[in-house]
Amino acid sequence: MKPLQKISRIIAVEPFKITLLWNTSEIRALDFAQLCNQWEADGDSKMAALRDWETFKQVTLSENRTLCWPNVLVSFSFKGEASTTSPLELDALELYRQSTLVKKTESVNVGAMLRKARENAGLSQADVALKSGTTRNYISRIENDKSDIQLETLQKIVELGIGGEIVLQIKSPKVVKRAQSAQNPAKAFLGSQ
């Protein structure tokens, strides 16, 4: 079962456009000018406050991992209960549906890497679990992308359970750019003019 789409981080807030990083490893943009027009056409007056740039730019990420405007209070009530007022918070799933894909970030398939290393070592999931102090079920969940894993735990499983080594490398943007320029000198030259 896929996890629900949630916002990981607000990347940029521009006049009536918000660019977001989602838990799906996607960078997506939301055009609020278009959304405000739709809300206005639907008669949704509580969203009208978002047409003001000073109000709009105060957007934050809520505890529910969605967009929230603490400066815009909305009132609502449930059947037979008193009215409640809280900051405007929009549904993450609907925001995801309304957004457009800007870029899909490359994800690292840790589960496939772990499975390949385990199989190359000639070990079963139970062997790796016993040696690393975890369960076969957990190893299976990681290998099948059903569970997240912390780097520290992955290191323990690889080193103790498989007898391997993790090599982690992070390239700075300058290093990546130089490497791309070296691969295509003509493009680097044309791009620098």
CATH code of the domain containing 152 = 1.10.260.40
Is pTM beyond 0.85? Reply is no
14 falls within a domain: yes
Per-residue pLDDT, averaged over 135-148, amounts to 92
**28 pLDDT more than 50:** yes
Q: Which two tokens mark 181?
A: 């320029």
**189 pLDDT more than 50:** no
Query: Domain boundary at 104, 121, 142, which?
Result: 104
190 falls within a domain: no
Per-residue pLDDT, averaged over 105-123, amounts to 90
Structural domain including 119 reads 110-162
Residue 167: helix, strand or coil by DSSP? coil
- Looking at the structure, tell me whether residues 21 and 57 fall in a common domain: yes
Q: Cα(89)–Cα(165) distance, rounded to whole angstroms?
A: 44
The average confidence (pLDDT) of the chain is: 86
Using an 8 Å Cβ cutoff, are 73 and 89 in contact?
Answer: no
**71 pLDDT more than 60:** yes
- Looking at the structure, tell me whether residues 80 and 127 fall in a common domain: no
Reference 67, options 88, 36, 53; nearest CA is 88
- Give the pLDDT band of residue 78 (cuts 50, 70, 90): confident
